[in-house]
């Protein structure tokens, strides 16, 4: 790895990490985009990712407990608003539940999170824990996966609409909103780490944070792929598609 | 599930949980015992499980921070001693490193934990976190997987000696010690939860703790199986057997 001796070198290094490790390269996402998953596998994905979505505002509130600057807190408060919404103006979490509704899940079952994989739970909790315990520079850097999200969504949404007849654009409304929210958040965080990481070792710490976060996303798909793509691997207690009423 | 209206009903419920969820039933362990793994897969297992072993004394020290009774702390101190050892009297962690030595790993690489799976790291950290944050009754109950460990070891050790020519009994010394340590620890913890869980809902909380711990062990094998049994699934940055010098 070349010396991280400038903000521009840091940005290039972050882009390279995303190129290698962002979860759009994971076999599960590749299979999803190529239409190789069945409805039950899409269901398992939506159910498990609900837990990730549900903990994002918790993660952002955790971040706010670490920020002494009101301007920074205001920035982060917006993220919570995006996910939690407001009366008459639903947020991202509600939009995710529209997706799980349309896939045939009972909302109480989804929000109880009782059927998710342990691998999902531990990875998501690791994200909140990271933001709680690491230096603020790294806590903020861990959000930089948003740099790669719009590109992934731009491929995923048309691919899903084309390949799965049980998916329509209303079902995927969550992703539309993220196409405008994610770049705003990513630009803010990228500007922050480029300004605040002032030494090569601080820039390396920023890269470590992004690698860690990529592993958090990637390992959730490892768990999904293992449990739901190969037969016979659903762990005890996890969602079993055979239990759904429409089967 | 029947009412948990007595200590005996609790013990029966715990045994039933182990029967269903203890990781000796996991496909990866079944394959290991049946001689269906190759040396690289055994290596990946030993490397990843080192991280679990390394965090057990941390978990036990975390437990001690929660215990106000010196007699209870003495009991828990013994567990740390078992793993960390003493000068001239190696502990379980050192014995685990003998296993990774014999499998061809550099000790610095193993103890750096840089090559472990993210799924391993998040699951193990979830164990320490559970002990740090849950009621003491549940924190202690999460150690009850030791009830099932001697039975698993009694099958695993002869199976490995029989099936893998690169494994000898010196390599597996870790497990010999656990055959006497685990029942002592499990009996203590079982007596504790039978005495201290006084209502059906407290006994249900004990069962939940054991289920959670079983999921912590199980999901580590999910991650291993996904990454190292099927080809092409090793996550970015994790141990790649092709990188070992003897290949």
Q: Average pLDDT for consecutive 10-residue bins of chain B (247 residues)?
A: 89 98 97 97 98 96 94 92 89 95 96 97 98 98 97 95 94 90 93 98 98 98 96 94 73
Q: Provide the ipTM.
A: 0.83
Chain A residues in contact with B19 (beta carbon < 8 A): none
Q: Which of A118, A226, A227 is facing B215, going by the closest CB pair?
A: A118
Residues from chain B contacting residue A21 (CB–CB below 8 Å): 236-237
Which pLDDT score, from 0 to 100, does residue B230 have? 87
Specify burial of residue A232 (Cβ count, 10 A radius: 0-12, 13-18, 19+).
Answer: exposed
List, in order, residues 6 or more apart from A36 with CB less than 8 Å away.
Answer: none
Residue B86 is classified by DSSP as B
Question: What tens digit of pLDDT does each residue of B71-126 get?
Answer: 999 999 999 999 999 888 889 999 999 999 999 999 999 999 999 999 999 999 99
Mutant choice from B122, B125, B130, B231 vs A, greatest count of A C-beta within 10 A: B122
B129 interaction partners in chain A (CB closer than 8 Å): 125, 129
Q: What is the pLDDT of residue A243?
A: 82
Q: Which of A128, A219, A230 should be substituted to probe chain B, the one whose Cβ sees the most B Cβ atoms within 10 Å? A: A219
**What is the length of chain B?**
247
Decide if A42 contacts A29 (C-beta within 8 A): no
Q: What is the pLDDT along chain A (247 residues), one digit of tens a residue?
A: 568 999 999 999 999 999 999 999 999 999 999 999 999 999 999 999 999 999 999 999 999 999 999 999 999 999 999 999 988 888 999 999 999 999 999 999 999 999 999 999 999 999 999 999 999 999 999 999 999 999 999 999 999 999 999 999 889 999 988 998 999 999 999 999 999 999 999 999 999 999 999 999 999 999 999 999 988 899 999 999 988 765 5
* Beta-carbon separation of A21 and B236 below 8 A: yes
In CATH terms, the fold of domain A7-231 is Heme Oxygenase; Chain A (1.20.910)
Nearest Cα of chain A lies from the Cα of B24 at a distance, in angstroms, of 13
- CB pairs < 8 Å spanning A and B: 94
Between helices A92-102 and A39-64, what is the axis angle to 10°? 170
Number of Cβ within 10 Å of residue B77's Cβ equals 15
pLDDT per position as a tens digit, B126-141: 999 999 999 999 999 9
Cross-chain residue pair B123–A122, CB shorter than 8 Å: yes
> In chain B, which residue's Cα lies nearest the Cα of A21?
B236
* Alpha-carbon span B66 to B82, nearest angstrom: 20
From the candidates A48, A116, A118, A125, which should be mutated to test the interface with B, based on the most B CB atoms within 10 A?
A118
What is the CATH T-level fold of the domain B7-242, as seen in this structure?
Answer: Heme Oxygenase; Chain A (1.20.910)
Across the interface, which of A27, A126, A226 has its CB nearest the CB of B222? A226
A→B interface, C-beta within 8 Å: 20-21, 27, 117-119, 121-123, 125-126, 129, 211, 214-216, 218-219, 222-223, 225-227, 230, 232-233, 235-237
- A117 sits in the region (left: phi over 0; alpha: psi -120 to 50; else beta) called beta
How much is the pLDDT for A1?
52
Q: From CA B85, how far away is CA B92, in angstroms rounded?
A: 7
């Amino acid at each position: 790895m070349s010396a991280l001796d400038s903000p521009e070198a840091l940005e290039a290094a972050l882009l390279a990490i995303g190129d290698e490790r962002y979860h759009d390269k994971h076999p599960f996402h590749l299979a999803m985009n190529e239409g190789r998953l069945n409805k039950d596998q899409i269901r398992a994905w939506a159910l498990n990712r609900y837990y990730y979505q549900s903990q994002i505002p918790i993660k952002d509130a955790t971040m706010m407990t670490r920020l002494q600057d009101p301007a920074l807190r205001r920035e982060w408060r917006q993220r919570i608003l995006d996910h939690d919404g407001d009366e008459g103006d639903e947020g991202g979490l509600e939009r995710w539940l529209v997706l799980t509704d349309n896939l045939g899940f009972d909302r109480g079952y989804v929000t109880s999170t009782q059927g998710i994989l342990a691998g999902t739970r531990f990875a998501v909790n690791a994200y909140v824990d990271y933001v709680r315990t690491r230096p603020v520079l790294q806590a903020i850097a861990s959000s930089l996966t948003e740099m790669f999200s719009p590109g992934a969504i731009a491929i995923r949404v048309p691919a899903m609409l084309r390949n799965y007849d049980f998916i329509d654009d209303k079902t995927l409304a969550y992703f539309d909103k993220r196409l405008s929210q994610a770049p705003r958040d990513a630009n803010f965080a990228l500007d922050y780490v480029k300004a605040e990481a002032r030494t090569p070792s601080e820039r390396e710490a920023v890269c470590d944070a992004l690698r860690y976060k990529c592993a958090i996303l990637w390992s959730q798909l490892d768990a999904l792929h293992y449990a739901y793509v190969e037969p016979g691997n659903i762990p005890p207690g996890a969602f079993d598609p055979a239990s759904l009423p429409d089967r």
